Amino acid sequence: MVSPHPTSTAPLGIPSATGDDPPIPAFLGAAYDDLGVTLGPEGASLRVWSEGATSIDLVIFDAVDLDWITATLPLAPVGGDVWEVRTADLRVGTRYALRVDGPAGAGHMFNPSSLLIDPYARGLVPVRLGEWRSVVVDDAFDWQGVAAPRTPLDRTVVYEAHVTGLTKRHPDIPPALHGTYAGLGHPAMIEHLQRLGITAVELLPIHAFETEPRLLHQGRTNYWGYNSLAFFAPHAPYATAEAIAAGPDAVLRELKEMVRALHAAGIEVILDVVYNHTAELGIGGPRSSFRGIDNRAYYRQHDDGAYIDVTGCGNSLNTATDAAARLVIDSLRYWAREVHIDGFRFDLAVTLGRDGAHAFSPDHPLLRAIVDDPALAGVKLIAEPWDVGIGGWQTGNFGAGWSEWNDRYRDRVRNFWLSDIDYARRAATSPVGIGGFATRLAGSSNTFSEERGPLASVNFVTAHDGFTLRDLVSYDVKHNLGNGEQNRDGADTNRSFNHGAEGATDDPHILATRRKAMRNLLGTLLLSAGVPMITAGDEIGRTQRGNNNAYCHDSPLTWLNWQLAPWQEDLLAHVRRLVRLRHDNPALRPHRYAHAAYEVPNSSVIDWYDEHGETMSIERWTNPAHRTLQYLAQSTPEQGEPNRILLIVHGTEHPIDVTLPEIEDVTGYVSLWSSVPERPDEDEPVRAPGEVIALPGTAMHLFRII
């Protein structure tokens, strides 16, 4: 049976406000409970919210002929702008749609002839291009006692991946499972993830989505999936052909089997969710759901009905209205409770935090409610802290309980290892010193508050959007002609460096320099304080041939190629070593920032030394000629023994001799990892304090202090 929506006379799981408690947002009130289909022993109810509607009909279709209407039932208003019908005609497997009528005029787009998707539909089936039927889905599933891993945030290593791209070409996954949920849950894929050491897979959108008409006209597809059609239904084309043929129940079951398999392997599942806009696009776009149910209430717009587009996608969901805010909360609850999803990465999250005047507030009731909701307790919440509207860049400004993609980290790390090196080749000096890089390495305390600490920062060097790691060190400019937009799309500022040749080359020196640059970038990412995110394929040096916006390519360009050259095997070995070292050394992953005046539990106390083993001077922090430091971090655990590491960072192309610091209680430095060799060394020699380490240009070396 379908798991019924919880019913109550008070907001779900949230106590009434008393005393100085903030008032409970209206969208958490009982008036918004049980929207969508709720099955019961004597039939089902359908509840739909629309402030402006004058009538709503439930239209039921034959199970095979999706144009054959078998029943039309009116919904009645029951208060709070909610309409309801109870009927035995709604049961598991029923195909249905909504017809909504209402007033004409500015901002309204009612059309009683349109067959609309129920916003709370758990399953969809296509009728023809751009037309869908909602489906009542059986939510029952045997989780076999497999529990969520609940990985602490400090031990989390995120792996951003696309369901299709990750599995499409894997030779050990059966062809019938290529590009599917089942393929991702296959033992061969799980083995790679476990050996890599990542703790969470962050999937590009798997909410049901569709390709924009513009791309279809060009013969392209929306590969990434940032064009949500429905917020409760999984994207069916990611299921196996067998599951698709069996219907939405089987699609949902395959997705849950994938989650169960990953959980059994100790791997969490985080979803990239797109609540900021929908596939209805701008005015004149499809009328598939919200636009026909209540355009005025669901989308941000001016008084004359013109859309306020802060997403760059044609429309913006108006979470300042109670119905839209509740829709987001209910969707998150569904995926967390019914599908056992462990976390969410919110695309263009600033849009969700805009108020009725369209200004962002970190105290927006929806953002607070997501953090405070007991149904989402323990769920990881990651914001993409920007959109394209006024005041849209908000990195560091979300509240407690949120982590954020740290674009400042990305830009500084890329600058240090790539564009600064390019500049130095041209100008014979670097543009800046090492101070800004060190701040990012130590957890971005200049961006995130003391209360939130370094774990508020999700560190990344690459993501799905932009160059791959290999392309970042191989191209100076984007090469996006294949996207059909005359190379106008995609970022122009990439902070990349081709190291002497644009793209493919046979020059052995350039190739070796690129490989070391990749090792430096990955070493920085995995040894920095904060939560690291690896982009799938970077561990094996995947290329998109210079395309930094491959959103419209479902092809070998975007699929991982698992046939690895020896240098790719070597790079993979480096990533595995780095992830393991991060796990083994708590000093690399503090919970909190240290304080100069008192000890902070679960922080890392940091000392900085120059290449001579002397305390870093202010002049050396800022002097572009001095880009070498030694980063000593000591953990302050509440339980267990302290851990100390020393990381040497050398940021110029000139070789250098580095003297290990002589510190009173230090007897030696155990060599753990270096970015210099093509393949990580297996032995761990011990170096003495005061010993000199010779480094080539641009290198890193990690030690454990004994």
Instruction: Choose among 624, 625, 532: nearest CA to 154.
Output: 532
Q: What is the rounded CA–CA span in Å between residue 522 and residue 460?
A: 9
Residues designated catalytic = 347, 384
Read off φ and ψ for residue 563, nearest 5 degrees.
-85, 105
The one-letter code for the residue type at 297 is: A
Q: What is the rounded CA–CA span in Å between residue 46 and residue 118?
A: 9
382, 348 Cβ separation under 8 angstroms: no
Q: What is the rounded CA–CA span in Å between residue 473 and residue 431?
A: 19
Q: What is the rounded CA–CA span in Å between residue 516 and residue 306?
A: 51
* Residue 2 CB partners (closer than 8 Å, separation 6+): 37, 38, 39, 92, 122, 136, 137, 138, 139, 140
- Output the CA torsion sign for 279, 285, 289, 295: positive
Q: Report H helices in 99-212.
A: 163-167, 181-184, 187-196
Kindly report the number of other CB atoms within 10 A of residue 28's CB atom: 23
624, 598 Cβ separation under 8 angstroms: no
Three-state SS for 42?
coil
475, 502 Cβ separation under 8 angstroms: yes
196, 539 Cβ separation under 8 angstroms: yes
| β-sheet with 123-128: strand ranges across | 36-40, 43-49, 82-87, 69-79, 55-61, 95-101, 131-135, 123-128
Express the helix, strand and coil content of the chain in percent, nearest 5 each.
25, 20, 50
Angle at which helix 566-584 crosses helix 187-196, to 10 degrees, equals 60
Q: What is the rounded CA–CA span in Å between residue 603 and residue 634?
A: 8
